[in-house]
Amino acid sequence: MRLGTTSVSLLALMVHTTLYADNTHSQSDIPPERIVVTGSRVAESMDEVPASITIITQQDIQAQMLVNPEMQSILANLVPGLAADTGSSSNSGQTLRGRNPLVMIDGVPQSTPLRNGALDVRTIDPSAIERIEVIKGATSIYGNGAAGGIINFITKKASAGSALSGEASLSSRFSAVKTAESAGVRAAGLVQGQINQFNYLVSASYEENGVQRDAEGDILGLQYGLSDAVTENVFVKVGYDFDQDKSLTVSFNQYSSQQKTDLGDVVNDINSGEKTYAIHVPVELQKQGKPQGPDGNTNFSLKYVDYALFDNTQLNIDVYQQTIENVFFYSPRLANPDLGLDGGQSIIRSEKSGLRTTFNSRFEFDGFSTTLIYGIDALEDTSSQPLVDGRMWVPEMAMKSLAGFVQSKWLFGEDLVLKAGVRQENIDLEVDDYETLKLCSSPTQCSTAVKVKGDTLDYRATTYNLGLKYNWHAYFSPFISISQGADISDLGLLLRAATVTDIADIQTEAAIIDNYELGFSSQFSTTRFELALFRSTSELGTSNKFNAQTGIYEPVRAPQEIWGGEALLSHKFTPALSMTASYSYVEGKQTDTDTYLGARQISAPKATLALKWQATDALTLNLDSIYVGDRKRFAPNSAGKYVADQAPVDSYFVTNLSGSYQFAANWQGYFAVHNLFNLDYYPAKSQSYAYGSYNVKGVGSTVNLGVKTRF
């Protein structure tokens, strides 16, 4: 199918919109003039980037890890526009400005956009990350799957000057409400060094959780739960500098996190008014199937850089390969009594290999300068969703993508920055003949198996962007931008729910997302304020509708509009005491029916407040809070029940306390209390998802104690 025609070939969209970076975060370890911004794929000053970006530094990551090492929690607390923490291992519903972002490690895609399993933020341990770059709003700079933007984990690299150095930490996390069975252990270590032209870094972590308890001391429900989860991560990076301009870096990452428990759920749903919680049960009532969670996900990448290919041109070549196997929970909704199956368990499998070639050329003229960033991206992605028992839920989808792009940046004097770019995407996706599954949510509610004729789907899309930033004064630096993204995300969801016999009759068209944004930043001595307003539209969004006859949630393709805004305020009271506050609001509708979108896309309003106090040279204290507001857009059905992702959200306010003490030159102790006041609440996802067993409460007061040493 054709999405657009153009005489321009092999050109590409770079990212859109204007800089939205939290400059209150310490950038001491990253010189601002050399920040590598994901949206530009080259190093450039943030003042020259008309893109909506949040930078999370290593210092920010380490502070958040004291409270909760889960990446979805770290991102929720630090990224305006990202939905609140889900309170589970899944980031389903944790959208960025109402759409799903593409998650990457050093530019290598971790998401499975052809069949989105919402486990993509749990692919690397935070201890291996140097910083996180978040680009907000639709962009196709890295291809399919970035409808909401990009979250790129930039990994650590070896420090120069020593053949061997490193660090190690050991900690334990346990419930302050009821300690029984709740104590876990976490160990992490890193060694690095430089020997002549070689440099290396090895990072490893191991974490074994105890049970997680809510404010009443009960064990949290196991649906995407973290109780008894075992998480392991190994990251290796080796580099060689041929000379001061040329270098080669090889990286390897392996991550797994699986729940291995002897517990069982006492299942309820949000309509019952009772929580889902876990208890010790006989073997026959325990969680069936394989342990749920990422199972040995691996990445391999090779990066070559030549900063002086020509006098004015830099070359970057990235080659990568990645495999993913995400195991999901055993579900009775995957039953088929005709086959003697009372349920099933699915696995999302994905294999990717890719090549990115990027050139960066700079030209100087009288009164202005221009930079051209151009190149070619190639990607192969083979994804499927089989069941553990051998049935195939989503057939194998083999995608080949070839895209070209050019992005121009124009600097007029020291104040005005103009960016314009275009990307041409060429995608071929092959699906063989397949048969949908007969699934029974009850003995009388079954879907009908359909034999579907496969085909090769072709997608051609040309997307554009235009952004303008005016660094007029520190008091007022405005921006405006328009950008597009092309998205064929979650095609597997459409294929597995097919009711026609030919794939050509399934509504598999890609969505072209138009994104508009404007805002400004203001700096007054020790106070900074930022504001951004956005709107995005798409003629073919994807939502879900419940089929009462089959008991299955089916996808619906319809036009959507999403809008909202973000504000950030930071202030330094004294050199030792600082504050950062943010507020995010997003809303969206299916425009053809004028109905609000559910919680899978649209999150409740979110506000954050963080205070940092350097009490003494050795003692640092942090107090941070997150507020989630009401969102009540839907009425119950005729039976008086809420369905799907349309249950109401009531507000809540959670506060965390953490601190560290440097008690010797190379030794540091630290502590944290998650949910300091032991608030008894349901996270927003638990409130809004009316599906059975999702109504799990938030974690009660939980203490973390640890020690860290450097050598």
Q: How confident is the model at residue 38 (pLDDT cuts 50, 70, 90)?
A: low
Query: What are the DSSP calls for 87-149, one per residue?
Result: SSS--TT--BTTBPPEEEETTEE---GGG--S-TT-SS-GGGEEEEEEEES---TT-TT-SSE
Beta partners for residue 303, in sequence order: 249, 318
CA dihedral of 374, 380, 385, 391, whole degrees rounded to 10? 160
Whether residue 131 contacts residue 151, with contact meaning beta carbons closer than 8 Å, is answered with no
User: Between helices 71-78 and 58-67, what is the axis angle to 10°?
Assistant: 120
Q: Mean pLDDT over residues 452-462, rounded?
A: 93
- AA letter at 367: G
* Selected residue with higher pLDDT from 116 and 582: 582
pLDDT over 70 (residue 29): no
Q: Who's near 196: CB < 8 A, 6+ residues apart?
A: none
pLDDT over 50 (residue 6): no
Tokens 């979650």, located at residue: 490
**582, containing H or E segment:** strand 577-590
pLDDT score of 554: 66
Closest CA to 395 of 408, 385, 409: 385
446 vs 278, 334, 438, 443, 501, CA distance in Å?
A: 29, 10, 7, 7, 18
Q: Mean pLDDT over residues 355-371, rounded?
A: 92
pLDDT score of 19: 32
Nearest-angstrom CA–CA distance, 108 and 119: 15
Q: How confident is the model at residue 550 (pLDDT cuts 50, 70, 90)?
A: low
pLDDT over 50 (residue 34): no
pLDDT score of 30: 41
Q: Mean pLDDT over residues 158-171, rounded?
A: 92
Spans of all domains in the chain: 32-710
Q: What is the pLDDT of residues 474-494, one digit of tens each?
A: 899 999 999 898 888 788 988
Whether residue 70 contacts residue 226, with contact meaning beta carbons closer than 8 Å, is answered with yes
Q: Mean pLDDT over residues 542-551, rounded?
A: 64
Give CA angle at 131 (129, 137), nearest 5°. 120
Q: What is the pLDDT of residues 217-240, one digit of tens each?
A: 999 999 899 999 999 999 999 999
pLDDT over 90 (residue 556): no
pLDDT over 80 (residue 637): yes
Nearest-angstrom CA–CA distance, 528 and 457: 49
Nearest-angstrom CA–CA distance, 505 and 109: 30
Q: What is the pLDDT of residues 646-701, one digit of tens each?
A: 999 999 999 999 999 999 999 999 999 999 999 999 999 999 999 888 999 999 99
704 vs 57, 161, 385, 610, 699, CA distance in Å?
A: 22, 34, 37, 19, 13
Q: Which CATH class is domain 32-710?
A: mainly beta
Backbone phi and psi for residue 130, each to the nearest 5 degrees, phi listed first: -85, -40
Q: Mean pLDDT over residues 239-250, rounded?
A: 96
Q: Two tokens at 698?
A: 């938030």
pLDDT over 90 (residue 45): no
Nearest-angstrom CA–CA distance, 98 and 11: 27
Q: How confident is the model at residue 33 (pLDDT cuts 50, 70, 90)?
A: very low
Q: How many other CB atoms are there within 10 angstroms of residue 707's CB atom?
A: 13
- The number of helix segments (H) and strand segments (E) in the chain equals 4, 38
pLDDT score of 504: 87
- Residue 492 per-residue DSSP state: H
SS (H, E, C) 231-280: EEEEEEEEEEECCCCEEEEEEEEEEEEEECCCEEEECCCCCCCCCCEEEE
698 vs 174, 221, 653, CA distance in Å?
A: 15, 10, 11
pLDDT over 90 (residue 91): no
pLDDT over 80 (residue 31): no
- pTM recorded for the entire structure: 0.91
pLDDT over 50 (residue 132): yes
Q: End-to-end CA distance of the chain: give it in Å, rounded.
A: 58
Whether residue 465 contacts residue 512, with contact meaning beta carbons closer than 8 Å, is answered with no
Nearest-angstrom CA–CA distance, 685 and 239: 42
